[in-house]
Amino acid sequence: MTSYFPWLTILVVLPISVGSSIFFLPHKGNKMFRWYAICICSLELLLTTYVFCYHFQLDDPLTQLEEDLKWIDIFDFHWKLGIDGLSIGPILLTGFITTLATLAAWPVTRNSRLFYFLMLAMYSGQIGLFSSRDLLLFFMLWELELIPVYLLLSMWGGKKRLYSATKFILYTAGGSIFLLIGVLGMGLYGPNEPTLDFSKLTNQSYPVALEIILYFGFLIAYAVKSPIIPLHTWLPDTHGEAHYSTCMLLAGILLKMGAYGLIRINMELLPHAHSIFSPWLVIVGTIQIIYAASTSLGQRNLKKRIAYSSVSHMGFTIIGIGSITGMGLNGAILQILSHGFIGAALFFLAGTSCDRIRLVYLDEMGGISIPMPKLFTMFSSFSMASLALPGMSGFVAELLVFFGIITSPKYLLMPKMLITFVMAIGMILTPIYLLSMLRQMFYGYKLFNVPNSNFADSGPRELFVSICIFLPVIGIGIYPDFVLSLSVDRVQAILSNYFHR
Amino acid sequence: MEHTYQYAWIIPFLPLPVTVSIGFGLLLIPTATKNIRRIWAFTSVLLLSIVMGFSANLSIQQIHGSSIYQYLWSWTINNDFSLEFGYLIDPLSSIMSILITTVGILVLIYSDNYMSHDQGYLRFFAYMSFFNASMLGLVTSSNLIQIYIFWELVGMCSYLLIGFWFTRPTAASACQKAFVTNRVGDFGLLLGILGFYWITGSLEFRDLFEITNNLIHNNGVSSLFATLCASLLFIGAVAKSAQFPLHVWLPDAMEGPTPISALIHAATMVAAGIFLVARLLPIFIAIPYVMNFISLIGVITVLLGATLALAQRDIKRSLAYSTMSQLGYIMLALGIGSYRAALFHLITHAYSKALLFLGSGSIIHSMEPIVGYSPEKSQNMALMGGLRRYVPITRTTFLLGTLSICGIPPLACFWSKDEILNDSWLYSPIFAIIACFTAGLTAFYMFRVYLLTFDGHLRVHFQDYSSTKNSSSYSISLWGKEVPQAVNRNLPLSTMNNKVFFFSKDMYKFDNNLKKCIRYFNTSFEKKYTYMYPREVDNTMLFPLLILVLFTLFVGSIGIHFDQGVIDLDILSKWLTPLTNLFHPNSSNSVDWYEFFTNAIFSVSIAISGLFIAYILYGSAYSFLRNLNFINSFVKGGPKRIILDQIKNGIYNWSYNRGYIDIFYTRVFTMGIRGLTELTQFFDRYIIDGITNGVGIASFFIGEGIKSMGGGRISSYLFFYLFYASISLFIFLFFL
């Protein structure tokens, strides 16, 4: 069944186009902009849900809701959109997190028009990226992401915001060069006219050397975004300085673009190179889990500690992708979603508490649980979720990755045992840094010498945001088939490439 | 009859609504929720009673019908992998669930009063209900993943409850320590589960047992790998049940409220490790090395726990070490393959230790108004003494609990402990000697706790004799502003001063020392509290104590062999028939009463001698003996005495410093992780990030250099042009 109504185009264009009219609104205070932005976001989310409910067949592993419009004819550049089981999860995550981030950004008062417009522009770019079916379009939307983030960071950030913003833009733009090389190399290779279409490229085969070069180019771009060590140092700086609503978008969605691209392009289009590179991915992922966890333990800055924890968690995704098994890949996708929720929530809570007590260093904090019990509750819950407590989404994802690496036919017994062992050590390190963070922040007792030390607890808006994120975390943890049923068929289709060739 | 089994899935879910509704109520409508707090407590007791009814019904059916029921639902379905959820009702799970619910109900009733003035009353009940739910889920789970899930959930409950009074720094570090130590165990458990999944391709118990046994008999799997995986599984049990290398969290866990210590850290959660080993015993029994390993760990823990309990001053801490030692007995019993004795001791110990902890809770509760609300003082046995006059009912119950743990005949623990000791003689004489010796030690330290608490005179009021000018040096606020290391820092001083409470050698100069040590302990109290005396606690707290006394008195009878004509099986053996048949298909349950009596007399005499020594050293007989100048003549010994003193001091220091194990762990692991952290932090900051920043700075300098060169001055351009032209000319002329 093909729907002729261009649902996806509407979904992609709606936020940025309607959002740009925020500049024409009469200036009647921030309240109006807030409500306008939140209305657009929720409208978009509702529309997305509607489209996915009624125009998307779950049991069909093929690309659906496809749209194909010619854009530039000379090199076969199309406005080609379409979704499958792999991209539906990240798109829904994007809608959800962006809506909540807009809600979380209410305290932003300085130049709020531009702020909300940039958030909406990011919204468009992300949905477009996750649904694009054309390589060059993918690249363009990938680049489109950078500008709003740069502006959000450099205008509403903390003290060192210019340094962080420059670092962010240089890192990611540097990565994008390799992405562009890969895109052009892949598109221009071939006997006849250039092709940039995903579905045509899937069946194309390359000489091994070229495939490895292309794979490597894409890998660098995704490694910057994802991040994979040693290209991760932009992340703690960026997260440490950005406003917490930006952090939610960064941790919740932007990091997921790297992992998504790794599955979408490297796994799907370059299977040979992926099976050559996958042991290295697994090794790097394992090192990353341990390395980032132990670095996180050494951070004094609260936000940086959480940032390193997300680097550590992305290690599981990389291992899942590298394991080339159905379970591992499902686990990786689940980890993308689960960390999207948990990371966003942790940054949100960290940001709100830092704003209240006006401290960022952990060793200066302490004893704020008495004035802020609700914040304490939510922070503890999400820390537990982040350390993969069973019953929450992180546990299922990590368990699936573990099973994926155990059952993978690609690796021998000894390497498997070693990798599993080291991954499991990460399981010990994770509670150490998260719980000591909790202890330093909340436990104990401290007399605040600040004259107006009557900190307000979380208000209803903040409580709403955290509970909204908490429900899917619990939901996925208790019944993971909600999400797995989306991606399971598609994963099977991707993996069938590896066994047929 | 079938109906009860069909609805057994409800067991873990029944206590859950209380948690959820209290949690959301506290977040969303705190005031309204707090106003009806008693209703919440009542609801949680009610729901747990329903569960108890259910599990009692199931247990009765197990005793009569003795069959195993299992139901499964699928949880996640992939093409190549499916996880299932289900429940398994067999004798083991029915025993555990009845244990959890009975102790749970009593503890909930008790804590209604104990926590009634606490701000976190509702939070406490939410955590408790959640703990009950997850513990019941753990014992009824039907595959390893489910066990792992609930295993971590009870760990989290324990974390939350240890850190319940989160303003105390000691509680904060204790709960983190407990969670991380347990996570080390979970690490082993998860790896073991994955290993067995890799070997057998199944996570469900019965498939797992069959496939593993087949593989081991047919040499289908390398025995080294199987042993490794089984030992990894056992590590999980080691951490949860506070066995030797990973026991460090249990004594610190006493920072939590006392009802928690009774429920979680004495009766149920620490029994989860035992439960796991018992559940997986069909696997372990096929691998003899693992069984030897289990019994070795068990016997080390038995001895270590008992020696560490010898010199603790904190009443809950000495009970905690006693718990550890008794769990070691159970682990030893499992390791030597006597399944029945292990479960029997698990049941009897749970009730007796819950009784002791609740008793200590009521002592603490009655001491708190006098000495202040710091655990340093209200749990300090050095400040107690002579409480038998003030809290007679608690004293009686506590005495019965103590005697039960010591193994005095009519009480519960005697029967089970005797069985374990007998079985250990059959297994290995060395282990049996250690176990018997420890039985004596158990009697000694338990009676020491009893005597220090209830015998003699209330030592708090000795502070009247001491001057109060030093007292301000060591003040502890209610919210615990004290630094965590204070105890350690004061170690040399306190060992000097408190030797009197351990061995009798300083007793003849008690009068001098007493003032000193009392001055050390008793610090800034208000003057008005000086003449208060402890009062007996309320009836709500006494009721659970009395019920537990009944259990302690009579629960031993389920394991006693009654000669009733043809069938001379006791209830417990009947209960466990389907499981024991798995291990000993042709074991006869005949009992030789003569042999039983000789063994019993031996173990009882050991216990009584322990009691007697404790009574000599700590009892009120002290004054009596001093009057006779008995001690003075006794202690004048010459050179022999010095050696004896050194030994005593050695034991005392070993015990007081917790066997130096905690210090060792701190030195090695904490410092090691800190060092690693600093290293990676340095590496990350100065090398990985340094390269990035270096590139940035280098490009900045290059840009600046080029800018200054290309500044637009014709003369500099000419200069560079001529300079390079002359250099190239130079090279051209001379080198070519």
Digit-coded pLDDT (tens) for A451-475: 555 667 778 899 999 999 999 999 9
Cβ contacts (< 8 Å) between A295 and chain B: which residues? 677, 680-681, 684
Query: In terms of C-beta density within 10 A (0-12 exposed, 13-18 middle, 19 or more buried), how is residue A271 classed?
Result: buried
d(CA B429, CA B433): 6
Global ipTM: 0.92
pLDDT above 50 for B132: yes
Above pLDDT 70, what percent of chain B?
A: 82
Question: Which residues contact residue A461 at a Cβ distance below 8 angstroms, ignoring those fewer than 6 apart?
Answer: A103, A106
H helix intervals, B657-688: 661-665, 671-682
* pTM, 2 dp: 0.88
d(CA A189, CA A206): 8
pLDDT at B471: 37
The percent of chain B in helix, strand and coil, each rounded to the nearest 5, is 80, 5, 20
Q: Which of B72-86, B215-229, B564-578 shows the lowest per-residue confidence on average (mean pLDDT)?
A: B564-578
pLDDT above 90 for B468: no
- Strand, helix or coil at A79? strand
Question: Which residues contact residue B145 at a Cβ distance below 8 angstroms, ignoring those fewer than 6 apart?
Answer: A399, B83, B193, B203
Does B481 sit within 8 Å of A431, measured CB to CB? no
Q: Is B255 on the interface with A (CB under 8 A)?
A: no
Tokens at residue B194, please?
């994955």
H helix intervals, B115-248: 121-140, 144-162, 169-200, 205-217, 223-240
Tokens at residue A276, please?
């050559």
pLDDT at B590: 52
pLDDT above 50 for A28: yes
pLDDT at B665: 87
Q: Centre a 10 Å sphere on the Cβ of residue A493 and count the other Cβ atoms it contains.
A: 15
DSSP state of A191: S
Tokens at residue B513, please?
């020392």
Least CB-CB distance to B172: which of A326, A443, A479?
A: A443
d(CA B124, CA B112): 10
pLDDT at B297: 92
- Strand, helix or coil at A197? strand
Mean of the pLDDT values across residues B437-442? Answer: 90
pLDDT above 80 for B224: yes
Query: Crossing angle of helices B121-140/B37-64, nearest 10°?
Result: 20
Domain ranges of chain A: 5-445+455-498
Q: Hey, what's the torsion of the CAs at B393, B398, B399, B405, to 10 degrees?
A: 160
* pLDDT single digits (tens) B375-384: 777 787 777 7
Q: How far is B696 from chain A (nearest CA, A)?
A: 9
Instruction: Identify whether the C-beta of residue B551 lies closer than 8 Å to the C-beta of residue B102.
Output: yes
Closest Cα partner for A321 from A268, A392, A368, A393?
A268
Does A425 sit within 8 Å of B76, measured CB to CB? no
Task: Return the residue of A nearest to B190 by Cα.
Answer: A424
pLDDT at B638: 55
* pLDDT single digits (tens) B293-314: 999 999 999 999 988 888 888 8
Tokens at residue B636, please?
């004048």
Mean of the pLDDT values across residues B389-414? Answer: 86
- Strand, helix or coil at B71? strand
Does A424 sit within 8 Å of B480, measured CB to CB? no
Q: Is B28 on the interface with A (CB under 8 A)?
A: yes
pLDDT at A118: 92
Closest Cα partner for B41 from B108, B115, B133, B106?
B108
Cβ contacts (< 8 Å) between B79 and chain A: which residues? 326, 488, 492
Q: Is B31 on the interface with A (CB under 8 A)?
A: no
Mean pLDDT across chain B, nearest whole number? 79
Instruction: Identify whether the C-beta of residue B523 lies closer than 8 Å to the C-beta of residue B540.
Output: no
Q: Is B689 on the interface with A (CB under 8 A)?
A: yes
Q: How far is CA B158 from CA B17, B93, B161, in A?
A: 19, 21, 5
Q: Which of B426-435, B613-622, B707-716 shows the lowest per-residue confidence on average (mean pLDDT)?
A: B613-622
Q: Is the bond preceding A230 in cis, omega lying within 30 degrees of 0?
A: yes
Q: Is B190 on the interface with A (CB under 8 A)?
A: yes
Does B194 sit within 8 Å of A402, measured CB to CB? yes
What confidence tier does A422 reach under pLDDT thresholds 50, 70, 90?
A: very high
- Amino acid in position B688: I
Domain ranges of chain B: 340-461+530-582+589-627, 660-733
Question: Which residues contact residue A15 at a Cβ distance below 8 angstroms, ignoring those fewer than 6 apart?
Answer: A40, A41, A44, A120, A121, A123, A124, A127
What confidence tier does B75 reach under pLDDT thresholds 50, 70, 90?
A: confident
Mean of the pLDDT values across residues A281-308? Answer: 92
What confidence tier does B496 reach under pLDDT thresholds 50, 70, 90?
A: very low
pLDDT at A449: 57
Longest dimension (CA), chain A: 75
Mean of the pLDDT values across residues B603-631? Answer: 69
Structure-model confidence comparison of residues A351 and B654, the more confident one = A351
Q: Is the bond preceding A431 in cis, omega lying within 30 degrees of 0?
A: no
pLDDT at A448: 58
* pLDDT single digits (tens) B327-366: 999 999 998 888 888 888 998 999 999 999 999 988 888 8
Q: Which residues pair with A15 in a beta bridge?
A: none
Q: How far is CA B198 from CA A291, B109, B587, in A?
A: 27, 46, 34
Q: Indicate if the alpha-carbon torsion angle A470, A476, A482, A487 is positive or negative.
A: positive
d(CA B355, CA B253): 18
